[in-house]
Chains A and B, each alone.
Chain A
Amino acid sequence: MDMSMQNIHTKPATTGAPVAHGKNIAPKVVARDANVYYGEKHAIKNVGIEIADKSVTAFIGPSGCGKSTFLRCLNRMNDTIPGCRVTGSITIDDKDIYDKSLDVVLLRARVGMVFQKPNPFPKSIYENVAYGPRIHGLTRNKAELDAVVEASLRRAGLWEEVNSRLQESGTALSGGQQQRLCIARAIAVSPEIILMDEPCSALDPIATAKIEELIDELSQNFCIIIVTHSMQQAARVSKRTAFFHLGVLVEEGDTNQIFTNPSDPKTQAYITGRFG
């Protein structure tokens, strides 16, 4: 964090950091020389990346490569892990999110997260979605809250399936529905960025297809960053892809380019299935 104010205007140290994707729109998330340590373990090494708004960026890489760790830095979820330390700078809209003056609760309201395993609250479907708006005081009365819940469930493509049973427990839904409920919960607080940590790894192909469709739709309004093990998924849903290996951001670029013409031999080896 000491280094947070430096290096913002220098070029990132790692390869392939884009400058001109997204037609001169300022990137939403920028990381410079980001390092993460779990105690002695150096989990993320000098990562520099720019992530565009209103698009889908996929993080790929073998298990333990640090992609989830990096994702969890973006809403400071790593704060909850004892011994975890972050250096370098990570900014959202040019504001350093590790700055002391930044409120982490506010950050998490702006940066929503969907987890690997669907984790609805053991409460009703309605309460699951209404929880965020309620704790942040986003609505003034029941009618407004109802409207937010309905809008969120509609955007998550779940409204038609659950509108008749909003008071049933969220945990009684199927896995795919639960994950869409979690997405509805995340978008109910109107975040700017949605982080998705392998959102489909616990789902069957049909549910996965639904979630991917949803991600595509949501990317019109949100900056979506998705960690995935499935390269097909990255190819299908993302506009840009970043390949992590052993805590290092090896390569980042347009998804098409990464999958057809990677510039780094390690990326080449991974996407052709030679390791990972």
Chain B
Amino acid sequence: MTAAAIPADNAGPVANSRSLVEQSLRRRYAAEARFKAYGIAAIVIGLSFLVIVFASIIQRGYTSFVQSEFRLDVTLDKDVIDPSGKGEESDLLIADYPLLIQDALIKALKLDPKSRVDSRLAGELLSSNADTTVRNYVLANRGEIGKTVPFWVLAHGNVDSVVKGAFDRSVPEARRKLNDKQLGWIDQAVASGALAKRFNTGLFTFGASSQPESAGIGVALIGSLFMMLTVMLLAVPIGVAAALYLEEFAPRNRITDIIEVNINNLAAVPSIVFGILGLAVFINFMGLPRSASIVGGLVLALMTLPTIIIATRAAIAAVPPSIREAALGVGASKMQSITHHVLPLAVPGILTGTIIGLAKALGETAPLLMIGMVAFVVEYPTTPLEPATALPVQIYMWATAAERGFVERTSGATLILLAFLACMNILAVILRRRFERRW
């Protein structure tokens, strides 16, 4: 380009180009503004849906964190609990605690102990699991037999509904689960403080139950914990090792191409397919027990592997090649350049991918249905080989139950699951920050 190529009068090849540019500028700025508006609208819509979801879950679920309990002075009658006087455990276990609690309730409600109808109606206000508290207390404190001890015992789920204001009193008495007399007693007990809402520790500790007031996510939490441990111990090392090999060592040829395509496809396979695989391989072929959290963990590990491999490969590929060259240039071996430089730099990305994979596994339900984790498990599993449920499966099971108590528990357990996921994501952010700051 020489000076001769520019016209001397400084006018461009197009006459009045300036006004043309001004016009087109207006169009371009308008397009930009429109695009911004679309973006903001999309975000607002997304956020508002999120708010609606959270609001509805919280509104339906927050009541599950409190539970109605009766405060009763239970007389631990020696004749009922330990008639033989030997204090044998078998006697203490089968003693008629419900009778003692019922007597205490009748006393608290100032009813006539001789009226059998009233006794029966009063008994209906108590949870069928109310005796557990008393029995455990007696077993732990045998010296207290014969004394009168104050207890908080679980009220029946219907009573809980009344206390939480979710019971429709306008329904004709004959079609109600509680009659007018019982409702009167409940009001009286609430007024006197003998019936109150207390923090629902049972929600976190109980196992499965047909009564909503004594159903909890304890077993599901243990099951989910076992499964997450299995996934972490299996999927993370295998996934990172596979990604490292594929990214750093594997020769580029048809076989590795096929492997790569398959891993990417595996990430898109519906999770139920992994459940079928788990059922066929781990349970039918390998003979692992049904409903066991180890099988769930294995299935979820398989499901999480592609996510971890893909995330790790991306993180490794994002490490600039100049760092590899620098390490090789001073005489580091390939393995040293990877372990000293590439892997540490890839850790934030690997962590993010891993935690996203784990979070996905934690919320997974479909494959667990296939391997029989939709089970009614009351007892805590002590090993991963014992039957257990998982948090999302527990939510699914409660969602199919009709009682009011289960409806609020469905939302309550969802909140707990969401809280776990939020914690995991926060952990991912914290770990990422910390590792990034080191360099």
Q: Indicate if the CB atoms of A105 and B333 lie closer than 8 Å.
A: yes
- Which residues of the other chain, A, contact B320 by a CB distance below 8 angstroms? 119
Closest to B333 in A: A105
Does A109 count as interface, using CB distance less than 8 angstroms?
yes
Closest to B251 in A: A82
Question: In the assembled complex, which residues on chain B have CB atoms less than 8 Å from the CB atom of A106?
Answer: 331
- A111 CB to closest chain B CB (Å) equals 9
Closest chain B residue, CB of each to CB of A116: B322
CB within 8 Å of B: which residues of A?
A: 75, 77, 80, 82, 105-106, 108-109, 112-115, 117, 119-123, 131-132, 135-136, 169, 171, 182, 185-186, 188-189
Judge whether B326 is part of the interface by a CB distance below 8 angstroms: yes
Q: How far is the CA of A131 from the CA of B339 in the complex (A)?
A: 13
Contact B439 A115 (CB under 8 A): no
A106-B331, A109-B331, A122-B345 provided; 13 other pairs, C-beta below 8 A? Answer: A75-B329, A82-B251, A105-B332, A114-B329, A115-B325, A119-B320, A119-B322, A121-B323, A121-B327, A121-B341, A131-B340, A169-B439, A185-B330
CB distance from A189 to the nearest CB of B (A): 6
Of all chain A residues, which has the CB nearest B330?
Answer: A132
Can you name 25 A-B residue pairings with CB atoms under 8 Å? Answer: A77-B325, A77-B329, A80-B328, A82-B251, A82-B252, A108-B331, A112-B330, A113-B329, A115-B322, A115-B325, A115-B326, A115-B329, A119-B325, A119-B326, A120-B326, A121-B323, A122-B439, A123-B439, A131-B327, A131-B340, A132-B331, A135-B332, A135-B336, A185-B326, A186-B329
In B316-359, the 8 Å CB interface with A consists of 320, 322-333, 336, 340-341, 345
Q: A244 CB to closest chain B CB, in angstroms?
A: 21
Q: Chain B contact residues: over half helix, strand or loop, or mixed?
A: helix
Q: What is the CB-to-nearest-CB distance from A89 to chain B, in angstroms, rounded to a whole number?
A: 22
User: Which residue of chain B is the closest to A107 with respect to CB atoms?
Assistant: B331
Min CB gap A37→B, angstroms:
17
Contacting residues, chain A, for B322 (C-beta < 8 A):
115, 117, 119
- How many Å from the CB of B345 to the closest CB on chain A? 7
CB pair B326 A105 closer than 8 Å: no
Docked-complex contact B331 and A135, CB < 8 angstroms: yes
B interface, CB within 8 angstroms of A: 251-252, 320, 322-333, 336, 340-341, 345, 439
B329 to chain A, nearest CB (A): 4
> Which of B251, B320, B340 gathers the greatest number of chain A CB atoms within 10 Å?
B340
Of A108, A117, A171, chain B has the most CB atoms within 10 Å of the CB of A108
Q: How far is the CA of A82 from the CA of B340 in the complex (A)?
A: 23
How many Å lie between the Cα of A123 and that of B328 in the bound state?
16
Are B325 and A109 in contact, with the CB atoms below 8 A?
no
Bound CA span A113–B328, Å: 9
Q: Which residues of A contact B252 (CB under 8 A)?
A: 82
* 5 pairs of A and B residues whose beta carbons are closest in the complex: A109-B331, A122-B439, A119-B322, A132-B330, A113-B329
Asked if residues B345 and A131 are in contact (CB atoms below 8 Å), the reply is: no
Q: Tell me, in angstroms, the Cα distance from A136 to B327 when the chains sit together.
A: 12
Distance in Å: Cβ of A53 to nearest Cβ of chain B: 20
**Bound-complex Cα distance A237 to B182 (A):** 102
In the complex, are the beta carbons of A131 and B330 less than 8 A apart? yes
CA separation between A109 and B44, bound complex, in Å? 58
Task: Write out the residue numbers on chain A whose beta carbons fall within 8 Å of the beta carbon of B325.
Answer: 77, 80, 113, 115, 119
Minimum CB–CB distance for A218 against chain B, Å: 16
A26 to B39, CA, bound (A): 70
Q: B439 → chain A, closest Cβ, in Å?
A: 4
Q: Contact check: which of B326, B329, B331, B439 meets A136 at CB < 8 Å?
A: B331
Q: How far is the CA of A117 from the CA of B326 in the complex (A)?
A: 10
Indicate if the CB atoms of B328 and A108 lie closer than 8 Å.
yes
Which A residues lie within 8 Å of B331 (CB)? 105-106, 108-109, 132, 135-136, 189
Given A119-B325, A122-B345, A169-B439, decide whether A186 and B330 contact each other with a Cβ distance below 8 A. Answer: yes
